[in-house]
Structure 1
């Protein structure tokens, strides 16, 4: 396993792809708060960003990515089409998987040995499923061993992204952490989603009513860069409680009654196994909704 640009201390420079997006801007703020030098790769000029270098280019373009990787020691890869509904299916799949392959492969070729990439709870195949009856998880809490039931191009792209990260670890010795994010938002966006779920809790069943504040999501990315770990771990990250005030056992009894639950869930505890993220990253959410 070769050594390379793998440190995020001292003279570290972090490349953030998709830096102008909702999560990207939160990650830029988190990295800036740590005093880290940041290169932002964006598809088009978005105006001021909290980065001391901005490269305008496509994350699928090896030339643009190689330029953005100048002096970079670690990568946070967020550039992606964010759902199967924003473009044609082939475009969603091809765009996301090509960007992940190009960014991680060029980073590996450049000697970068630490990367974090945005996966999604949607990789389970449940949130965007349209078949009838709707698929249910094989069991709860959700964990990385859960059988996937993918039927949409976005979920499939995230499955391929996680496999790409594992491949880059084997090829280059890169530590590549894939974070399976749930619904993300600032307090205003979370408030809107919470209101929708209060009106119709069934809407949130496919995501087990989970969420994460963008500030916590950004900190999870930072921990993915700094934690003492190797390999290509895939980790669920989420707030420890749901976005609904109804106790979780009542929600499951009403909306997922036929799904076996392997853990005792108390109060509004989220039905996701968050222990690996706590163990490997030292991550636990700090920003509950509503604020305590």
Structure 2
């Protein structure tokens, strides 16, 4: 059994990254290699060459191949998933995602690996993709939001978070599940934001997730900091930029698109109606990039509470 630990705040020497051909996966591989960390990259297929010194082409639900990929690995970053409920049948999405996550965490736990970072989603509480006319229970959104699942993808991410808790209980593995919102490069986010300005129906739909987004390097920062943070247990952390996708004041957006939802604080200017303070407390993470430059981390002020 290969024992490993990152509870002292150090980054492990070899990391397995699953979903390594995806947007966040590739950026994570590049970041780790740039830090001098050895990477085993795993994906079902490859759209382009990747610089990792070990490359595994496999499904994460394949237990034998996963055990092979874990040779000499001391931490795992699990980004592999079917990322939307419409990509496949509900059963394929749910079974594929949860099977992959459980297979990886169980194999890593059995081999004594003590740190894992897994991709969850802002959709994990179920409301954003729900077909029914539901709204969040309150703003700001946080990790304790009441759930209402109506699609296989959102449910799979919620179950993945519970699999992380099992992994800690059964194998003593410390797991961070990161609830990502929309993640893109800043130019892509700015282009997407422009398309929303004349689309009130989409603005209303996105109220369910607080018009949240995250710049790609901020997403990778959160992964890197989750790998090295001196923590124990299984934790779910919500991530988002400090502002929203839209140029309007957040209070005006809430008045227009979610007038009946309770607000636990006021949101000055374009302040995001998401509470990401747990990520700052646990892994020392704050977003550094924003569509509105006034909301870059260097100029962020303390949240104003009601």
TM-score after normalising by structure 2 = 0.91
Whether the 8 Å CA contact 2:11–2:228 is kept in 1: the answer is no
- Note the alpha carbon deviations across 1:102-152, whole angstroms, 9 max, x for none: 011001111110000000000121221112xx2101111111111011110
User: Which residue in 2 is equivalent to 1:50?
Assistant: 51
Equivalent residues in 2 for 1:109-124, closer than 5 Å: 109-124=110-125
Residue in structure 2 matched with residue 217 of structure 1 by the alignment = 219
Looking at structure 2, the residues matched to 188 and 48 of structure 1 have their Cα atoms a distance apart, in angstroms, of: 24
Deviation at 1:50, TM superposition (A): 2.9
Partner of 1:191 in structure 2?
Answer: 190
Question: Is 1:171 equivalent to 2:170 in the alignment?
Answer: yes
Match of residue 65 from structure 2: 64
Gaps of 5+ in 2: 295-306
Instruction: Measure the CA separation in 1 of the matches of 2:11 and 2:226.
Output: 17
Residues 258 and 10 of structure 1: is their aligned pair in 2 closer, same or farther, counting only changes over 3 Å? closer
Aligned to 1:208: 210
SS in 2 for 1:276: helix
SS in 1 for 2:118: strand
**Contact persistence 2:12–2:75 (CA under 8 A):** no
Contact between 1:197 and 1:204, CA under 8 Å: does it hold in 2?
no
2:258 paired with 1:259: no
Q: How much has 1:9 moved relative to structure 2?
A: 4.2
> Offset at 1:34?
1.5
| Aligned mate of 2:229, from 227, 230, 237 | 227
Answer yes or no: is 1:22 the counterpart of 2:19: no
Q: Quick one: distance in 2 between partners of 1:187 and 1:278?
A: 22
- 1:198-225: per-residue Cα shift (whole Å, max 9, x none)? 2223242121111001111011011110
Deviation at 1:5, TM superposition (A): 1.6
- 2:177 aligned counterpart, secondary structure: strand
How many angstroms does 1:46 deviate by?
Answer: 3.5
Aligned pairs (5 A) from 1:63-102: 63-102=64-103
Matches of 1:11 and 1:135 in 2, distance apart? Answer: 42
What residue in structure 2 maps to residue 288 of structure 1? 290
1:239 paired to 2:238: no
Task: Determine helix, strand or coil for the equivalent of 1:267.
Answer: coil
SS in 1 for 2:164: helix
Corresponding residue SS for 1:116? strand
CA distance in structure 1 between the aligned counterparts of 2:163 and 2:144, rounded to whole angstroms: 18
SS in 1 for 2:274: coil
- Where does structure 1 lack aligned partners over 5 or more consecutive residues? none
Query: What per-residue deviation string (whole Å, max 9, x for no partner) do you get for residues 222-268 of structure 1?
Result: 11100111100100011111111101000000000000000121111
Q: TM-score, normalised by structure 1?
A: 0.95
Matched pairs, number: 289
Distance (whole Å) between structure 1 residues aligned to residue 44 and residue 293 of structure 2: 34
Q: Compared with structure 1, are the counterparts of its residues 11 and 116 closer, same or farther at alpha carbon in structure 2 (3 Å cutoff)?
A: closer
Is the counterpart of residue 37 in structure 1 residue 35 in structure 2? no
Per mean C-alpha deviation after superposition, the further-off stretch among 152-161 and 182-191 is: 182-191
How far, CA to CA, are the matches of 2:154 and 2:26 in structure 1?
A: 23
